[in-house]
Amino acid sequence: MAVIRSWGGNREYRAVAIERPATLGDVQRSIAESPQVSVIGTRHTFNDIGDGEVLVDLSNLASPPVIDRARRRVSVSGATTYSELTWHLDRARMALHNLASLPHLSVAGATATGTHGSGSALGNLSTAVESVEMITADGDVATFHRGDDYFDGAVVHLGALGVVTRLELALEETYSVEQTVFDGLDWETLASRFDEVFDSATSVSVFTRWGATPGALWCKRRVDDRRASSLDVPLTSATSPRNPIPGIAATGCTEQGGVPGPWWDRWPHFRADAVPSAGAEIQSEFFVDRGDSVAAIEAIRAIGDELDEVLLVSEIRTIAGDDLWMSPCHGRDSTAFHFTWRRDSAAVETAVELLAQQLEPFAARPHWGKVFPTSFRAATAYERLDDFLDLRDQLDPGGRFTTPWFERHVL
C-alpha cells in the first residue's frame, strides 16, 4: 500500500489498508471486518488523531449537498468539503455563519475536532451542526438531532463514535463581507483594549510573532453587521495584499482592501483554488477562557524568543463559547492562540512543551487536530468527559474506533 501522509507532511499514517466503500453496506462490512478503523477526511490534522489500522475514505459515497431553503438547512455527505459545499450554497444564495482559514477541509473531519474561524459572537464550525448520522461499531445507523440527549456529545466526536455518513448544517440567507488588513497595533494597545480590538469587526485575527510589535490586524466585517464598530486606534490599512505567512506571496489569499464580496470568499484567509498557508509546516493551537487573554499573552511573550526560533507566524482569534461536550470552546467564550511552525518536529515538540507549561495556569485546551504535548489528558480540561465516555461505551464498547491517540489523551 502506498504511504499516506498528513497534509502538512509531518506524519505518516500507520494504516495497513485503505478502503473506499461505494455503499453503506460496504462501510458496515469494513467496520465489521477490521479490529480498528478510522475515517480519513482531507488529512489536514497534524497529529495521529485519525491514525487507524484500517482507514476508510468516504469519497466514493459523496453526493451533492441537499439544500432545504424553507428549513434553512443543508444535508451533506461525510466526505463533502467546504469548498464544494460553499459552491452549492452560493448558487442557492444561502450561507454558513463562518468558515475556517481555508475551505479545503471535509465537513465531517472539521466538525469532528471543533474546527473554528474567528469572531467574538461566532461559535466554531461544529456549532452549525443540526444533526449527525453515523454508522456505529455494530453496523447500526445512529442519528443525533439538536435537542436529543446525546447530541452535544456526538458532534465533536474525535473520530471515536462511528463513521459519520451525513450531517445537517444550519443556513442563513447569503451576505457580503469585507476584509481589511491593518498595521500599527502595539502590544500595549492590544493588552489594554483587547475586547475593543477583537470586537471591532465581525471576525478579527491578529497575525504576529512574539517579539517587539504585533504584526497585523485582519478585520473581516459582515456588511450587514450593525454591532460591529470601528476601532478608535491609529492604524494604517495595508496598501497591497498580504499573506499571513511572512515572505509568501498573497496570490493564494482571499481579496482584501475592504472590497465587499461573498462570505465564502472572505471568511477564509486562503482561496479554495490555491495551496493554503506555507505547505511544509506543523501547527499547534491552545484555547483559553477569553477573560484570561491578556495574562496568556504576557505568559507567551515571556518565552517569545524561544518560540520565534521555530515559528513562522502566530494567529490570535476569539470564538464564542458553546455546549458541545468535547469542543475546545465548551462552556467558555474563548481566545485561541495558534502557531504555524517550521516543519521541524523535534524543535516543535520542545516549543510546544514550553508553551503548554506557560499556559497551564489558564487550563488551556489544545486544538484536537494539531500538535500538543503527549502528556495532555482531556480529564484535566473537559467537565463533560465522563458523559462523552459513557456515550462512546454505548456506541463502541469494543473500541473499534479507538486509536492510540484516543487512548493516550482521552481515555
Nearest approach, Cβ of residue 332 and ligand FAD (Å): 16
Distance between CA 309 and CA 315 in Å, rounded? 16
For the four alpha carbons of 316, 317, 323 and 325, in that order, the dihedral sign comes to negative
Nearer to ligand FAD, 189 or 314 (CB): 314
Nearer to ligand FAD, 191 or 248 (CB): 248
Nearest approach, Cβ of residue 307 and ligand FAD (Å): 19
Distance between CA 40 and CA 166 in Å, rounded? 15
With H, G, I as helix, E, B as strand and everything else as coil, classify residue 56.
strand
Nearer to ligand FAD, 178 or 285 (CB): 285
**Cell numbers of 262, please?**
461573498
On whether the CB atoms of residues 29 and 64 are closer than 8 A, the answer is no
- The one-letter amino acid code at 352 reads V
**Cell numbers of 332, please?**
467558555
Which residues are paired to 18 by β-bridges? 55
Nearer to ligand FAD, 151 or 235 (CB): 151
Residue 33, burial from CB neighbour count under 10 angstroms (0-12, 13-18, 19+): exposed
Nearer to ligand FAD, 235 or 276 (CB): 276
Beginning with the edge strand found earlier in the chain, give each strand of the sheet holding 17-19 in spatial order: 17-19, 54-57, 37-40
Nearest approach, Cβ of residue 56 and ligand FAD (Å): 8
Distance between CA 330 and CA 393 in Å, rounded? 21
* 355 Cβ contact list (under 8 Å, min separation 6): 284, 286, 300, 303, 307, 339
Per-residue CA distances from 173 to 6, 20, 71, 187, 346 (Å): 35, 35, 12, 38, 46
Nearest approach, Cβ of residue 134 and ligand FAD (Å): 7
Which residues are paired to 170 by β-bridges? 73
Point out which residues bind ligand FAD (CB under 6 A).
Answer: 7-8, 38-45, 49-50, 58, 78, 100-102, 105-106, 108-110, 112-113, 115-116, 158-159, 163-164, 276-277, 283, 367, 369
Nearer to ligand FAD, 28 or 115 (CB): 115
Nearest approach, Cβ of residue 340 and ligand FAD (Å): 8
Nearer to ligand FAD, 167 or 197 (CB): 167
Nearest approach, Cβ of residue 199 and ligand FAD (Å): 20
Candidates 324, 233, 245; CA nearest to 287 is 324
Nearest approach, Cβ of residue 241 and ligand FAD (Å): 18
Nearer to ligand FAD, 5 or 377 (CB): 5
Candidates 317, 170, 193, 155; CA nearest to 244 is 317
Nearest approach, Cβ of residue 229 and ligand FAD (Å): 25
The CB-nearest residue to ligand FAD is: 109
Nearest approach, Cβ of residue 78 and ligand FAD (Å): 3
- Residue appearing with cell numbers 481555508: 102
Nearer to ligand FAD, 106 or 202 (CB): 106
